[in-house]
Copies of this chain bind each other. A is one copy, B any other.
Amino acid sequence: MRATLLYAADDVRVEDVADPKIQNPTDAVVRIVLSCICGSDLWPFKSLPHTDTPRHMGHEFLGVVEETGSEVRGLVPGDLVVAPFMWADNTCGYCRDGLQTSCVHGGQWGVNGVDGGQGEIARVPYADGTLVKLPVGEDSELLPDLLTLSDILCTGYHATRTAGVERGDSVTVVGDGAVGLAAVIAARLRGAEQIILMGRHTRRTDLGRDFGATDVVAERGEEGIARVRDLTGGEGTRKVLECVGLRDALVQSFGVVRDGGTISRVGAPQYSDVAFGFGDFMRNITLTGGVAPARAYIEELMPHILDGSIRPGRVFDRTLSLEDVADGYRAMNDREALKVLIRP
């Protein structure tokens, strides 16, 4: 089959790799119908040193079950399924707590002999635990929306869950990338009243307004903080959703959060230390969030897509064939595209 491999920064290739086969009785093999490129794929795309053992890329996909191992009970060939961006047994103590990202048997796509999502086929470990059936056909117009269940919609939702966003809340979303926009959708779903979106790309923030942002702050740094404080009686918002992963975004989050408030970070941190000393201690700021256990939220969020009340698939503004995936990486890295769909 064909699959996406990253050999070095700016060196994405589509190559022939061995066809995935059932290896364990809990595996399934899935023919990928739709996948996409994630903002987090851009970090290695920008920085990976050259390697002769390239990374298998992609962790968001949906597809059709082709074959199942002898112990798979809940799936049969022909099922259309979505995969969360980490696989898990969905039965261990962490999974039962809704923390499938810490599953004792789980792991990431594209490493340790597991396929990536930007390819034609994937072997799925712990298929019963990992995959969720989609009650639509392969030709459904909702597929791009449903694909967001694999990562960004659940990641934005995780930000709101861990921050404790509730009805009537005032929330700041830092970052107008796909995850930030999904966080706007999620904050709206949970009944937030004021949703301030911090971002400076008008095309994206306009979409954010469509998704439910009540205010947009294009300024950054001190100026951006002052604008948010102006919008919130000087105090900042009780909940801040940090959807970038860079230190500056986190500093900005501390600037716009109200005393006693919570910052939830769901952008994968590209830093190792957080300035979080005596001053923020005196303000009783909570720092929460983390990698989203997407699997925990898929069944909860799917009905909102099926009934048309949310359209998270609108973040996809370009569709490419698998053979052209490198163009997709470049388009997202150059901010020509917000998020790129891949059709194998």
Taking a contact as CB atoms under 8 Å apart, the answer to whether A286 and B162 are in contact is yes
**Which A274-290 residues have a C-beta within 8 angstroms of B?**
274-278, 280-290
Question: Would A99 and B281 be within 8 Å (CB), given that A273-B273, A276-B273 are in contact?
Answer: no
**Size bin of chain A's contact surface:** 35 or more
Which one of A18-26, A264-272, A322-330 is at the interface?
A264-272
For the complex, give the distance between the alpha carbons of A96 and B293 in Å.
35
Q: CB-CB < 8 A to A289: which residues of B?
A: 281, 284, 286
Contact, CB under 8 Å: B278 / A268: yes
Complex Cα distance, B282 from A94, in Å, reads 13
Tell which of B102, B268, B273 touches A275, judged by Cβ atoms closer than 8 Å: B273
Note all chain B residues with C-beta closer than 8 A to A97. Answer: 260
Task: Give the distance to chain B from A259, nearest Cβ to Cβ, in Å.
Answer: 4
A94 and B271 alpha carbons, distance in the complex (Å): 32
Decide if B273 touches A101 in the complex (CB within 8 Å).
no
Query: Nearest B residue to A277 by beta-carbon distance?
Result: B272
Q: A94-B260, A269-B276, A273-B277 are in contact. List 10 more A-B contacts (CB 8 A).
A: A97-B260, A102-B259, A102-B260, A102-B283, A270-B278, A272-B278, A281-B291, A282-B290, A282-B291, A286-B289
Contact status A277-B282, CB under 8 Å: no
Q: Tell me which of A162, A275, A282 has the highest count of chain B C-beta atoms within 10 A of its own C-beta.
A: A282
Asked if B272 and A274 make an inter-chain contact with CB atoms under 8 angstroms apart, the answer reads no
- Asked whether, in the complex, the Cβ of A283 is within 8 Å of the Cβ of B290, the reply is yes
Q: Which residue of B lies closest to A233 (CB)?
A: B93
Which of A208-265 touch B at CB < 8 Å? Answer: 235, 259-260, 265
